[in-house]
Each structure stands twice: as structure tokens, then as C-alpha cells.
A and B are shown apart, each in its own frame.
Chain A
Amino acid sequence: MYDIRQFRPVLFTVVILGMVGFALSAEAPGMFVLASTLVAYNLWRVRAGRFHPLPRWLANAITLAALAFFGLQVGAPGGTPVLVIGRFLVVLQLVKLYERRSNRDDAQLLVLSLLLMVAAAISTASLLFGVLLIAYLVLSLYACLLFHLKSEADAASTAMSAANVRIAPSALRHDERRLGSSMRRLTALVMAFAGATALTVFVLFPRGAGANLFGPLQFRASQTLTGFSDQVSFQQVARITQNTSVVAHVKAWRDGKPLHGQVPLLLRGMTLDLYGGQGGVTGAGPWQWVRSPQLQRGIDIDDGATATISRQSAPADTRLSVTLQPTGTQALFVVGTPITLTPSHRTSLSYGLRDQTLSAREPLYSTMRYDVTCSTRMTGEAEPAGTPMPFDGAQEPSRTSPRSNIDPRIAAIARDPAVSGADAAGPLAPRRQPNGGPQAIDADIAANIERYLQTQFTYTLDLTDARKLGDTDPLVGFLTDFKRGHCEYFAGAMTVLCQSLGLDARMAIGFKCDEYSDVGDYYIVRQSHAHAWVEVNTPDGWRTYDPTSGREAPRTATLAQRLKHWLDYLQFQWASNVVAYDGDSRQNLITQVDVHLVNSAGAGSQWMTRLRRWLSINIYDLSSRVLSIVVVMMLAVLVGAVGWFVYERMKLRRRAERIGLDALPVSDRTRLARQLGFYDDLLRLLDRHHIRRPTHLTPMEFSDSLSFLPSETYHTIRRLTEMFYRVRFGGLSLRSDQQRRMGTVLTRLADEMSGSPDPRSAD
């Protein structure tokens, strides 16, 4: 049985779901644990009968204090208003929960919970939250239905007792039979209707107009990436985490063939070539890496347009389709040098001519999709000459780049033949011409240094050694002392080793992605894939070296990984089709539907034309055939109808004989046989249980003789017999719905009798 008392648990569930949703959105598990504990404690007190509502003045005081506290936080720099408002709503809900007295408080709780979910919906694009939101909406609609019934029932009792009448409990008792089934039907109707409307509005509501009408309430993360950063200082221990959240999904083709995870992708986001060392250099503090100033090309691309990014002569051999989640940074990730780029919406970009990296003008706070063709051969781009090129920034940067501040001990290590290598002619390092630009020997030196680091050093995320460095250069400490570290140590060390020997080297940072999803046919780029490697300029162009040792991920896909890929695929579809649904998607959808309808109409018209033509040619044959078929069908129908009529008549006659109506005139017999079908069914049912009416007994006497049957069965038969008399002798005519009801009673009776032991066998 189901009653309005279900409202309370449903209300608590709705409140907790709202808090779960917000905690998920704000990534605040602590707040969720605290709030849920308080809600559960409140529920326990209510169920145990120990709940005493907070005094109103205390609740108001807490609310005012919370308002002041969160009001200050909203204005604080760096704060996200919608999250602060969400936290305030959580506090308000807890206060309301503990001062709950009447239906009004319940209504306020429901509204606050809905507002909390709205705040959460603004701040997240997670699939999990989407699922939670759907569950929440279904449950909250159900809670609203129950709440309405409860409040109306309470209001009715209040209205009925308005005249100082002491209401008898019987007057307030409600019929709750089949209430559960009724509520399920209505909830389904509400959900179906409301869901259809929600889908319609979601798909067709115009997007874009009115955005930021009331200011930016959206979630603005300053930097959402944890592994990737444009600041490399070796000291940010907290940033080096195994965060597995997804950064991007990448579909890749090489030489026109899709890549199915055979090779890892090195997605470049940024390069750093200036190391500050102990004293720092221009633009770089101590122990920091920065990007040296260089020429930037500004590019504005319209919706769906393709822009040429780089003008290098190497052909594009790789194509990527990237869906980049909001990163909070400006970097766009490509493999090698980008040649052309097609973004999903209007975008303004900057392209570094020297390091061939792409970046957006504004940090990315929403999902961005772009197709890019790249060349894995990076030759850099010549300084612009002849045609003027737009430069990003008012002042053209200096053509002579500053150099890294490299510790002499690093240079000494680099000159060591065990590090930079040697051949039959002797060590390689001394043979290199200083300041001579890229030389043939550079590739060998870089390869030797890469091999040296890969073999002599250990990869670790344990940075306890780095904390003990004090004022020592971290790279010197890495190369001479602890000899273990993460990829930034390896890449940084190789870069400075190369630069100390005069090589043109830089550290590239981005993602090394080797996780491929067979489900969605794409690479999954996670935060934990963030990586740093080295690029060295050689006569053949910039070559990539990855000195980091022992970081290869296992290639075998376990069941857990496959499951994870499935979830990731769902998340990707959710993000692509729901969260990132925008005006273009809407327009595409409408256009597709329009085209489909037009095509269908055209196809239908053509089909009709062909049909008409065919008919005009074959009309005589066709009409004669159709006529024959129609005649045959009519004859068949006629024969069938006559057969059916005769069969029904026979059935009625037999039924009339069984009931004892055979002495009546034909018209009465037929009418009563139709009406008294239920009694015939009853007799046949009893007959199946070996109970037969003797011919000398009237129906009433026969029903009286069945007192050995269970009481309920006996009374049902008795009522049916009385109905028989009312029809047979009382002139009653049963309507079709009454006859159906009789059928239901007989079915129930059959169930009862089949469930009980055979009454005759008991004798």
C-alpha cells in the first residue's frame, strides 16, 4: 500500500540528491559529506520522534549570518558567484530542514533544492551530473505530486474543522486503494509530456541571443588542467597528480588512414626555451622555464571556415579531429606543425612562427571542436618578408632571443663524452662549431643525451628529494644528486644540456596520449597524460626527443579499461550532443530535418508520378484484376459473416439449453442467452471443479446448496445467481461494461477456486 506518508522520505531523498548534484558540480566532497550527515541526522531524529524544530529567531539569525558571509564571498576576487550562491543554498536548506514545521517549509525546501540543482547545472557538464539531474527531476516531480496531495488533504481537514467541529476520524479517512497504480500512471503521463516539451525546447530554442545578458554567472575556472601548465618551475608538487579526468578526445588520420592507437600522439601545446637558472633571466624567475618572445601571427576564423595556419613547405601528413574540454588555458593542441585549422565556431588564434604553437586569444571556458591538418616535420617558418603580415601585439619582439642561464656544472656534464657521446674520431661535443646554427652532428649529440637520460635516470612522481634542494638548481640536483624525477626534470635537463653545447633546443609541453578507445574510435587525452619532451633544431628541421624513462603505459586493455572506455564514450556523446549543443547544431538539425522532409516529399511525388504513369499504361488489366480480387474478397467476407452468424447462433442455442431457456420464444431466448452468458460461464467453471447443477434444482436452490465452498466464493456465486434472476425475471438489461465486470468477477472466482483445494475431494 502506498500513501502520502511517502512524501517525507521522498522529500529527504530529493534534498540529498540536490546536494549530491551540487557537490559533484562544485567538486566539494567535504561539503557533501557534511551536509548529508546533517540531513541523515535530521531524518533519524524525525523518524525517532525526537525532532524539535529550531526556534524561528535562531533560524533567522543563522540565515542572516550565512547571507552576510556568502555575500562577502560573492564579491571576493577569484570567486565564482554561482558556486557561492550554491553553498548559501545548501546552508539555507539545512536551516530549513531543522526548522521544518509545516507544509510551507516543505515547499520552500523543494524550491531551494531545485535552485541548488540549477546552480549545479550551470557549473558542470558531467555526464554523471546529467544522469543525476534526470533522476532528480523525476523524483522531484513525484515529490511535487505527493506534496500537493498532502497539502490539499491538510487544507481540506482545516476547512472542515473551521466550524469548531471535532472531526471524526472516519470523515477524514481517504480511499487509498490502487492509489499507487494511479500515481504511477499520472507520474508517467507528467514525465512523458514534460519530457517531450523539454526535448522540444532543448532542440529548438534559439541559442546565442541574450548570452551574458545579466553578466557572467558561468563557472570560470582559472586553470582546470592540473598536469599541463605554461609555468614549469619544478616546485609545484601538488600539480603533479594522477588526475584521470578527460581533457580531449582526438580522432587521428595519418596519410589518409585512421590511426587506431598503434602509435602514441604527442600533442604539442606550448614550448619553453628560456631557463632562468639561479639568478633568472629576462621574463623568467629563478628555476623557471619561459617561452622566449617571438613573432605571433593573429588569425581570425569564421564559423566552419578553414584557415591556413603555417606556410611551411612540408606537406600535411596528419589530420586530427579534436574535441577539447574547457581547460582554462589558451593552448590548442596539435601534432607537429599545424597547416590548416577548421574550428566549430568563430575563433581568434595566435600562431607562434618560431615554435609552431597555436593558442586562443581567450582562455577556453567551453568545449571547443576543431579539425586540424598537421605536418610531423617541423621546419619552422622563415621570417616574413615582402608581404606584410599581421603581428599579434603592438611591438615587434627582438630577433635576437635571450639565452638560458645555465649552471656551469651542467655544461661540464654535457661535455662529458658519456653524456654527449663520442665516436671513432673522439668526443662529439668539442667538435661542434659554436654559434654555427644547426649542424649535422646535433642530431647525434641529442640522441646520445636522450639515451643517457633514459638509461641512467629513473622516472618518479615522488618529489621528496626536490624539497631538500634548498638553493640548489633543481636541474643540477637532478643531474648530479638524486637522478630521478618526472618528465619536466628529464626534458628540462636535456634541454639545458643541449643548449649548453650550443644546440638550438626547447622543451615542448603537452600530452603524450597512448590511450585509445575502441568503442568511440578515438584517443582519450587525460590530465595524467600531460608530458614534456625536447625538440632540437637540426639541419632537417626540428626533431623530437623524449628522454623520460619508464613512463610507458600498459597497452593491454583490461575489462576495467573497456568499461571505463564505455563510460568515457557516453560522457563524450553527452558532452558533444547535449552540453555542447549550440546554435549551429540547432541550425544543422533543422536543416537536416528540412532536407529530409523535402527529399521525402520529392521522393513521394516521384513515386506517385511513376505510379500514375504505370496505372495509365496498365489500367485495364489492373482494374479487371482489382475487380476480381474485390469480388472474391467480398464473397469471402460474406461467407465468413454467414458462417460466423450461424456459429454464434449455435453457440447461443447451446447456451440457452444449458441455462434452461430452451422453452422460451426464439427472440427472448436469444436475447437472454446473450445477457446470461456470465451464468453459463459460471456453470462451466463449476463444472470444471466437478460441481454440477442437478436438473431438479433452481439456480437459487443450487447456489444455496454450495455452502460447503469457502465463504467468499459462496457469496460471489450467490451474488451472480441473484444477478441471473434480475436479468432472467426482473427485466434487467446488462450494459457492455457491466458484462465486462461480470467477466472480471468470474476470472477472480476462477482464481479463487483454482487456489483452493477441490471441495469435493475434501469429502
Chain B
Amino acid sequence: MWVSRPMRKIRHEQCGTLVRRRPSLDFSMTGLVYASMMLFMGLAAVNSQANLLFGVFGLMIGVLMVSFLISRLVLHKVQVRRIIPETSTVGSPMVMHYAFTNDKRFWPSLSVGFAELEGSEAFVAQPVAYMLHAAPRTTTTVAAEVIPKRRGRHRLERYQVATSFPFGFIKRATIRREIDEMTVHPASAMVDRKVLQLARAAEKAGPTVRPRRGGLDEFYGVRQYRAGDSPRWIHWRRSAHSGSLVTREMTRATPPRLVLLVDTHLPDRSPASHAAVERAIAMAASLVNFAAEADLLVGLLCWNGHWARIDPQRGKRRRRDLLAVLSDLPLNTAHDFQELLDESRDVTRADTTGIILTPRDVQMGLGERARGSLVALSSVSEQSNRWFRFDPGIDFSHTMPADQDPALSTRKGDPDRV
């Protein structure tokens, strides 16, 4: 089927991802130049009546015809399967793989390009990959490296397989459909350790907590010197008294238990408000990652269609659960900060530090409600910029899921949209 229009460029929105879709059959510029040269050759042959030129002219016609044949052959009897990671993070490069199976008995497939047509809005650029060669009856896996742009669950559906092999004169493309889903976590920042200094240690919460050795806090006791111990920690007096080297052991503070209170309330649908909320969510995700790496107990309270409460726990699984919840946080225009604080009474116990991540500046007046167990971090404050260092390339005004993006939402409601 001939598609007369040239390659279509679809810019979804101003903030959208440029999606290129090739026509199913098209002549390239190279092909046009070649066709012109072929005509020139034909004219030269007719003019000069040189028989060799007639042969060359016929050869060029044959090359053009065989281009049609081979480009069709390359895409015939091939299967493509996406292999995508289960999760990824906004702003961090991820690798998608395409497994290309050539089911033909004899003929190879060469120079095939893949491009995602739907679901590309989740990424900074349209995911594209290129496969050089798949021998007959083999499967070749090629990679596409992309940067996720929006958090949330994303659905990849249609993709295009295209080739201009063998000579680049003719471009042929087919559209395939395969549904895959992936979760993109909110962006993660480098977190300053000072954030944890705001959180109180768990042992201060009660007298029954037993101190544990292995830190650098207070004197715990002595033990036999072991090779490799620092000489600075040798207790010389006891060593002299006992006749053998003994070394000091110190206690370590019990790590704090954290509950992240994420305020996602949007007072208005302005880009600045959206960016502030998204930044607060990303700060929460960063703290989850940071806490998991530091082996801390971390929980969560946020509006997720209902007030989602997750008790503090440690471990990779808990981290994954928390990030999944943060990835899917919906648009919240009804449940404000006060409601969050009210809900937090049930989750902030005496041994837990609640960290409020909010898009508004709530430094003033917080002390009365915090009772020393709440820490407020505003996503719009200068301090949070110093403590959470995000990749400067991340644009928080567009990191929300596509259905929450005000620009995309208004376009979707546009009755004139084709």
C-alpha cells in the first residue's frame, strides 16, 4: 500500500515526546537520487547507444526492483518481543530490550529499526532500537536505552518495525501490537545525611531499649584485641593490667524509625503547584531509597484514593512497596495538609519520627503540632534544595503520570482532537 505523505512527526503536546511514525511504504531521498541517476543512465545509454550502458541501466532497474523484494522479505515472518524491566526511575537511564525472532528458513533479516508508538510519553525520547542482523531461525536481542520522564504505571502497546534494507531506497514499515506494563518510580535524589539528624533515635523513646555495640557513640565495654583493630581503640590501662591487648567497644545509636507523611494536596492546577507536589513525592521516594540503603525502618502515610498507611519496616520488599505507592499517587485536590496531620496522629508513635514532605512552606507553627516527633520538609524551601540534590535535567512540572498533566488533560478533552 502506498502512503503518499512523508514521514509524519507527531508532537503530542508542548511537553510531550516527539513520536515518529513511518509510512508503511515510502521512497527515501536516497531512493529519489538513485531513481534520478537511473534515468540519467538510461538517457546516456539511449544517447550513446553504448551497449554496456544498457546493461548498467538494466542492472540499476534490477537493483531497484530487488529493493522492493528484499525490504518485504526482511520483515516477513518475524516476531518481536519486548523485554522491559519491572521498574525504573524518573531521570535514570534504563535499558529496554527487543527480542527479534526470525522464523524464516533461509533468508536473514538485516537493518531493522524498532520504535514505540504508544506509551512514549513516559520517556524523554521515543524508545527506538536498531537490529543489525538476525540469521534465519535465530533470535537476536537488541537494546534501547531511554530515560523515563513520568512516574506511574505505563502501558506500552503499539510499536513499529521498519527497514530500508538493502540499499536505503525504499522504506517499509509495519505496526505491531503487544501490551506490556512497567512502573516508573519517582525521581531519586542524593540525600544529605543531615536530614537524618533531625530524626530522633529510637532508643530515646523508652528506657527498655538496650544499647547495642558496634558504633561510635558511648563506651560499651572491652574485648580481646583482634588483628586489624585500630590501635587508637586499645585500652592501654586495661591491657597493662591484664597482660594482653584489649580494645574498647562503643555503642551505636538505634536507627530512627521513620514515617513519611506525603502531602500531595494541590490547591490549584498551576504548573508550579504540580512541580512542588511532584518534588515532594520525589523527596519521599529519595528518603525511601536512602533509608533502605541505611537499613532504617521506614513507613508511609499518604492519600492514595484513601489514606494509605504503611507501618515502618526495613528491607527491599518494603522499599519496593513504598516506591510503588509513591509512583501511583493520584491527583489530590481534596485532602489537604490539615487532614494529613490529623491522620498522622495514629501512625506517629513515641519511637517514630514523622517526616512531613509537603509542597507548601510550613516551617512556622509546626512546632506546636509536632511535639518533637515531627519534622517538616518543604519541597519549595532552599533547605530542601540543599539536602535533596536531584538531577538538574528533571522537569518536575511534567513528572506526574500523563493523565494528571494539566496540558495533556486539556488536550484530551479537546473535541477537535483527531
Contact = CB atoms under 8 A, between A and B. Distances in A.
A166 B146 CA distance: 10
B56 interface: yes
Interface string A552-585: 0000000000000000000000000011111000
A217 B45 CA distance: 11
A667 to B, nearest CB: 31
B37 to A, nearest CB: 7
Contacts of B50: 121-122, 218
Interface in A359-418: none
B53 A118 contact: yes
A520 interface: no
A348 interface: no
B106 interface: yes
A144 B143 CA distance: 26
A163 B146 contact: yes
B205 interface: no
B110 A186 contact: yes
A208 interface: yes
Interface stretch (A149-157, A278-286, A317-325): A149-157
Contacts of A141: 63
Given A118-B53, A137-B59, A200-B58, A151 B168 contact: yes
Contacts of B49: 207-208, 211, 582
B72 to A, nearest CB: 13
Contact of B47 (A157, A172, A214): A214
Contacts of A151: 168
Nearest to B67: A190
Contacts of A207: 49
B32 interface: no
Interface string A175-189: 111110110011001
B132 interface: yes
A150 to B, nearest CB: 10
Interface stretch (B123-131, B341-349, B394-402): B123-131
Contacts of B66: 189-190, 193-194
B202 interface: no
A148 B69 CA distance: 16
Contact of B110 (A149, A208, A737): A149
A121 B49 CA distance: 11
Nearest to A187: B166
Contacts of A579: 51-52
A165 B65 contact: no
B145 A167 contact: yes
B145 A149 contact: no
A174 B133 contact: yes
Interface in B75-108: 93, 95, 106-108
Nearest to B133: A179
A69 interface: no
A168 B106 contact: no
A166 B141 CA distance: 20
Interface size class of A (residues with CB under 8 A): 35 or more
A196 B62 contact: yes
A230 to B, nearest CB: 28
A694 B167 CA distance: 60
A190 B111 contact: no
A165 B113 CA distance: 18
A573 to B, nearest CB: 14
A186 B108 contact: yes
Given A163-B147, A189-B66, A121 B133 contact: no
A201 interface: yes
Contacts of A118: 41, 44, 53, 56
Interface string A568-612: 000000000011111000000000000000000000000000000
B204 to A, nearest CB: 46
Contacts, number: 193
B15 interface: no
A258 to B, nearest CB: 30
Contacts of A130: 52
A210 B47 contact: yes
B379 interface: no
B58 A201 contact: yes
A162 B47 CA distance: 47
B158 to A, nearest CB: 19
B133 A176 contact: yes
B289 interface: no
Contacts of A121: 50, 52-53, 56
B16 to A, nearest CB: 14
B30 to A, nearest CB: 8
A199 B145 contact: no
A611 B368 CA distance: 117
B384 interface: no
A437 interface: no
B14 interface: no
Nearest to A175: B140
A160 interface: yes
Contact of B135 (A114, A165, A181): A181
Given A194-B62, A201-B57, A171 B143 contact: yes
A368 to B, nearest CB: 14
B43 interface: yes
Interface string B25-63: 000001000000100010111111111111111110111
Contact of A198 (B58, B164, B168): B58
Nearest to A179: B133
A213 interface: yes
B239 to A, nearest CB: 54
A194 B113 CA distance: 26
A156 B111 CA distance: 10
B376 interface: no
B55 A198 contact: yes
A141 B45 CA distance: 20
Nearest to B18: A162
Contacts of B61: 197-198, 201
Contact of A185 (B41, B57, B58, B107): B107
Nearest to B20: A159
B327 to A, nearest CB: 21
A694 B326 CA distance: 60
A206 to B, nearest CB: 9
A141 B70 CA distance: 14
A535 to B, nearest CB: 39
Nearest to B132: A174
Contacts of B93: 165-166
A205 B59 CA distance: 13
A198 B57 CA distance: 7
A133 interface: yes
A193 B62 contact: yes
Given A148-B164, A198-B56, A208-B49, A163 B125 contact: yes
B144 interface: yes
Contact of B132 (A114, A176, A194, A199): A176
Interface string B163-201: 011111000000000000000000000000000000000
B74 to A, nearest CB: 9
Contacts of A153: 111, 130, 132
B222 interface: no
B362 interface: no
B166 A162 contact: no
9 contacts: A107-B30, A118-B44, A160-B145, A165-B146, A166-B93, A178-B138, A182-B108, A202-B54, A213-B46
Interface of B: 30, 37, 41, 43-59, 61-63, 65-66, 69-70, 93, 95, 106-108, 110-111, 113, 123-125, 128-138, 140-147, 164-168, 393
Given A118-B53, A152-B111, A160-B128, 9 more contacts: A4-B132, A133-B56, A163-B125, A166-B93, A178-B138, A179-B135, A186-B107, A197-B59, A582-B49
> 9 nearest interchain CB pairs?
A201-B58, A197-B62, A156-B130, A194-B62, A182-B108, A174-B132, A198-B58, A163-B125, A171-B143
